Amino acid sequence: MRVAMLTGGGDCPGLNAVMRAVVRKGERIYGDELVGFVDGWRGVIERKLRPLSVETFRGTLPRGGTILGSSRTNPFKLDGGVEACQRAMQEERIDALIAIGGEDTLGVAAKLHDLGLKVVGVPKTIDNDLSATELTFGFDTAVQIATEAIDRLHTTAESHHRVMVVEVMGRHAGHIAVWSGIAGGATMILIPEEPFDIEVVCEALKKRHAAGNYASIVVVAEGAIPKEGSLQLASRERDQFGHVRLGGIGNTLAEEIEERTGFETRVTILGHVQRGGTPTAFDRVLATRFGIAAIDAVHDGAFGQMVALQCGNIVRVPLTAAVGQLKTVDPDLYHGVAEYFFAG
């Protein structure tokens, strides 16, 4: 078979590991010819593709990013975009496509599958907010990076008796904030799922410091929102999938905390550091398992399906199940742990 791959959306540690596994099994076991569309769906529309082989992926297992490149292009938002994708598959003689991405990339894959495209999905996002899979690769790496940062901020916070606000990624879901916040012993964790009241945050900090604690760490997901009327946030531009470009809640929060409590406050925005660099061992293994499962799915004709992790096993689920609804933080995990921290 002639099998194509693409990587779409934000990059993620482990993307190369997925493709390496696909190519290894595809070429060596199934005798496939592998190609890659460059820069996500944009490469399909613009017909930019390159041959891929076992050789192409030598040395890439520990390498972050994606050697194929990525973009946030949405064919359904471009004139003739869908037709261009369909033509590309026919004229480039692609028998099957493996789309590696998050809700946006896989959402496009699901819609194109409805129009006849032979596609298999692989779930990717450091945010870990895709439904139907317990974990996405990249999440473990992001949590590790954020936890290390929080560990480091503890000592400088204590030395200066400061409040440290740490902004982590997480547009619609606070998985990174909750996991790194718990692992790093944060004082407070603010996530998009639970709008926060700035007054409650500041009162809790005052209570904690009055009780003799001399420093605090507040972990905030970039998509965290204040309760209505609590705090005003600036409006921002949107991408082709309609997502607001985030980043900045940390600054607003730090300013408010300092003003309302009088405690010296600093902010660290981790940003894309969480997405860059080498994947953890866990993510390399998960990515490799997903890659093997994806090429197997192609050869079983399991189109319109996504490979997923459930109860430790790799399974197949309909693409629509993965992109229908975001997976948010388990309220038991948040309330059972985060509220405990709020107490002091």
Interface ranges with ligand F6P (CB under 6 A): 9-10, 102, 125-127, 169-171, 222, 245-246, 275
In sequence order, the β-bridge partners of residue 310 are 313
Give the nearest distance from C-beta 170 to ligand F6P in angstroms.
6
Active-site annotation, residues: 127
* CB-nearer residue toward ligand F6P: 170 or 226: 170
State both tokens at 326: 């975001």
Cβ 308 vs Cβ 166: under 8 Å: no
CB of 75 to ligand F6P, least distance (A): 18
Phi-psi region of 174 (alpha: psi -120 to 50; beta: other; left: phi over 0): alpha
Give the sheet arrangement for strand 313-318, strand by strand: 49-52, 33-37, 2-7, 96-101, 119-123, 305-310, 313-318
Torsion, Cα of 285, 326, 201, 159 (10° steps): 20
Burial code (b: 16+ CB inside 10 Å, e: under 16) for 67-100 equals bbbbbbbbbeeeeebbebbbebbeeeebebbbbb
Handedness of CA 132, 63, 182, 259 (dihedral sign): negative
At 258, give phi and psi (nearest 5°).
-60, -45
Q: Least Å distance between CB 283 and ligand F6P?
A: 15
**Longest CA span, the chain:** 70
| Shortest distance, position 72 Cβ to ligand F6P, whole Å | 6
In angstroms, give the least distance from the CB of 137 to ligand F6P.
13
3-class SS string, 231-244: CCCCCCCECCCCCE
Smaller CB separation from ligand F6P, 27 or 103: 103
